[in-house]
Structure 1
């Protein structure tokens, strides 16, 4: 029987060598790092403290939705997959400004995200120092725990890198305020920062086991997957392909679940499709009032008779249209020039596992979703998110009272990610047929898996049709278009879309085409414009620049 590694926030840490000017020191209790390193329990507490920051919760406050681990605001709303939602444009207006590309450096979400990631880095560094100096463990055990911490540190730096690009890099060897204050965000180039991130994942890969006895701890598969992702973002295609192969062929036995819907059900936490997940829990005895759950996503409940209405992260019409298929079950690709999706259209079944649509059953509830559930439908349309919503019919996994969090893990990297990174690397290195086979594998799961059925179970709830690519691929541009579209269909509302568009170099074209089309439906988008060379990254938080005394330099265009 597997032991679940519960990531319960550790709140008695006072001094973790925090990133000083780059990170506000948050009061966390009464014990220092020095007091904790003299016992195994203390050292493990520092390790758990680092894991606990994965959920974006750094000060036991309900506004962790400003620093969501799932990146729903940064990766989905800023892309073409989601509207902000909520009670009009004034509700969390900070996210509205990001959505219309009026982002400024004073937005609280940027500040909170910066703080959350650097708090994670600070705690990982503190744990590494403590483990290194602790005399109660053999070297092998020390190496494994340090490898876990380096993987976490790589995770946090990767998040900062894709958000802000050039950032201060602080490792465990910088311990004094003077040393930390001397680090600028221009000290390392983009390439050097990627190399630092790679180093942490390479170290972790060389040490970590394929499977941990305590589920939730970092593994070799997670390190290899993160390496593949790091190489993908740098367009190091051969290295990405090799790292992906190590995950695909791992003794851990990663595989696609039989049913796409199961990936987003809490009963399947830590399944074979999960390569690296953030562990959420509720009613765990930690006394954190539900803040160990999905506190960063607590705004996305759709409302209606079964949920507290929050109504954020609303699917765009453009996303809905992207799931239309032709008579062979293949994507139409053009989400603009065709009419909006109708009941008569063929659709990829992943649509109704991803969003709530009027007339379609919603999760396991005894009623179909109604447009009236949606908050401010005149502003944001009739649709609602589905992937990271847990119904109150599963009381062991969700809270029916404030803060309405749930215990379904967030999968940072799932096996489908690794497969499609492998396919992308194959396209870029000329093996189009190898890429087609992998993409068909992902599409085959969508075709053969469980579909949403009518309430009485008599038939599928819509005209579901998804097919595989049967024609030999000879055009690399068309193969890449298929790959890019497949990532959208597979990972919608999982926090990745904007970062994909930016790394592919197509964000300007895609987002401005989207704005031009959608502003006739969502008038608040009028005047919005994506500016190449600026909006691929977010501005460095103004408060952090001020705290640094000008040492931190702002990103171009802000």
Structure 2
């Protein structure tokens, strides 16, 4: 079984200040402190209690912030925020009324009162608050080992950088609070106090400080390393189009001990999910004594594909558009014509590792995936998630409520770093390096174990993937190829929408997608992406109502 740093989904109470929920669920009580117990300051700053406070800061990485089981409204994997609102996935479930607020997100009808918008905000700012409070306790502790204090401070800087990065990419213009906050009122901040560039600078500073002080390895998996901080710093640069800085940061990361695993499918096994390809991940475990297995993949529990082996929630359904994206030509290169894949077409082998398709074996269950597994076939079509679904035979899969697994969620994996570097290389004019990097990823896919027929007599489909053997000379074409590879490699991992936004092509891609996809899926008939609005989610109305009038500026269009 995996040995991980134990992340408890319920609050670890080290005193009244940690029991405080900065952003609660009732509008006028949104910022009010509730004291659950009293602990003297001298007890709070004892080394063992400070360590508990630090673990508490880690514990909300999975989006679980209370005793409820609805982390699927604030999932660490961003399956609803990054996939459902893109061209990769539909909401799924039991029709449009099932988790209707996510259906509205899929139609770009999100409002400041949308539950998931509020829940995600609460989860991420809870993470911010816990890192800030743990940092203050750590600084005040007199018996905490000095060398370890430096490392733990760096871990907290990394965590705070992560929480703010997520907030920035989802909500755009956000309030910023650091460890100098003393009271609950200090968290009632304007979201225009700092410019967008100033917020990015603060996020950069946290990751840079983490890189400067973190070790190259950690005894307990789940704690970040210095190269994890540098990788996140590279991503931060990428989102700001600081191409040379992003390129240089990936150089440092690639000089370490990370690399592509030989087999693409093996990356997504719990036995390997702290392996050489995983740079930082949310750590999940099951059957570890935690109530209701809340240390498992609680935010993804609705994504089970149905059928005879899994629960029937049936969310996170791949689009026909995504399936078609995996079609290849005789050379094994992407066709990208959005014509439905037929049985005779060549396809990228990653297709049947990523997506459950009718007639193709599903995992090691000795069964063909069937369209009937879909909970609402008429609305959401026949395809199901597969890449991040564990085999029902796995000891890391649970068959009782809440039906969670112990497959970690990978916040950053090495393949992403290669793709970031390829993107920066194109922007810097080094097209041949970009081609080489993309080919590394395609070569790994070509050399992976292809899905086989049930009897093991051959490949389950016409798999054909090749590399780009012709010199790249057109920067725009090269960038299209890098972006296409990003889509194929990272499909169903919660990144697609955010990439479309930062590339500045969200409107173009989603409009093209909807024009065809709404002829296939009637639930998308009224979906309209509004440029200048739908790139970001609104600031939650409950937060606006809970601070001084006029302090918060709502995002454009809401």
Note the aligned Cα RMSD (angstroms): 1.7
**Residue 517 (structure 1) shift:** 0.5
Q: Helix, strand or coil: the match of 2:316?
A: strand
Relative distance call for 1:28 and 1:465 in structure 2 (3 A) is farther
TM-score w.r.t. the length of structure 2 is: 0.96
Residues 1:489 and 2:485 are matched in the alignment = no
Q: Tell me the distance in 2 between the aligned counterparts of 1:515 and 1:199.
A: 39
CA deviation profile, 1:187-244 (whole Å, cap 9, x unmatched)? 0111000000000000000000111011111111110010000000000000001111
Q: Tell me the distance in 1 between the aligned counterparts of 2:292 and 2:376.
A: 29
**Residue 18 (structure 1) shift:** 5.3
Contact 2:297 2:404 in 1 (8 A): yes
Contact 2:45 2:138 in 1 (8 A): no
1:500 corresponds to which residue?
499
1:425 corresponds to which residue?
424
2:436 corresponds to which residue?
437
Q: Tell me the distance in 2 between the aligned counterparts of 1:33 and 1:556.
A: 46
CA deviation profile, 1:283-315 (whole Å, cap 9, x unmatched)? 1123x2111100000001011110110100000
CA deviation profile, 1:135-173 (whole Å, cap 9, x unmatched)? 112332111001001100000000000000110100001
Number of aligned positions between the proteins: 550
Relative distance call for 1:35 and 1:78 in structure 2 (3 A) is farther
Report matched runs for 1:79-228 at 5 Å: 79-181=86-188, 183-228=189-234
1:276 corresponds to which residue?
280
**Residue 25 (structure 1) shift:** 6.0
**Match for residue 295 of structure 1 among 288, 293, 298:** 298
**Residue 392 (structure 1) shift:** 2.3
Q: Tell me the distance in 1 between the aligned counterparts of 2:370 and 2:421.
A: 39
2:312 corresponds to which residue?
309
Contact 1:12 1:31 in 2 (8 A): no
Q: Helix, strand or coil: the match of 2:443?
A: helix
Q: Which runs of 4+ in 1 moved over 4 A?
A: 20-29
Relative distance call for 1:415 and 1:323 in structure 2 (3 A) is same
Q: Tell me the distance in 2 between the aligned counterparts of 1:96 and 1:447.
A: 36
Q: Tell me the distance in 1 between the aligned counterparts of 2:144 and 2:539.
A: 40
1:37 corresponds to which residue?
44
1:319 corresponds to which residue?
322
Q: Tell me the distance in 2 between the aligned counterparts of 1:448 and 1:355.
A: 19
* Unmatched runs of 5 consecutive residues or more in structure 1: none
Report matched runs for 1:519-530 at 5 Å: 519-530=518-529
Q: Tell me the distance in 1 between the aligned counterparts of 2:307 and 2:505.
A: 37
**Residue 26 (structure 1) shift:** 8.4
Q: Helix, strand or coil: the match of 1:126?
A: helix
Relative distance call for 1:517 and 1:28 in structure 2 (3 A) is farther
Contact 1:51 1:152 in 2 (8 A): yes
Q: Tell me the distance in 1 between the aligned counterparts of 2:402 and 2:213.
A: 38
Higher mean alpha-carbon deviation, 514-523 vs 30-39, is at: 30-39
**Residue 176 (structure 1) shift:** 1.7
Relative distance call for 1:352 and 1:25 in structure 2 (3 A) is farther
**Residue 363 (structure 1) shift:** 1.1
Q: Helix, strand or coil: the match of 2:434?
A: helix
Residues 1:330 and 2:333 are matched in the alignment = yes
**Residue 279 (structure 1) shift:** 0.3
Q: Helix, strand or coil: the match of 2:303?
A: coil
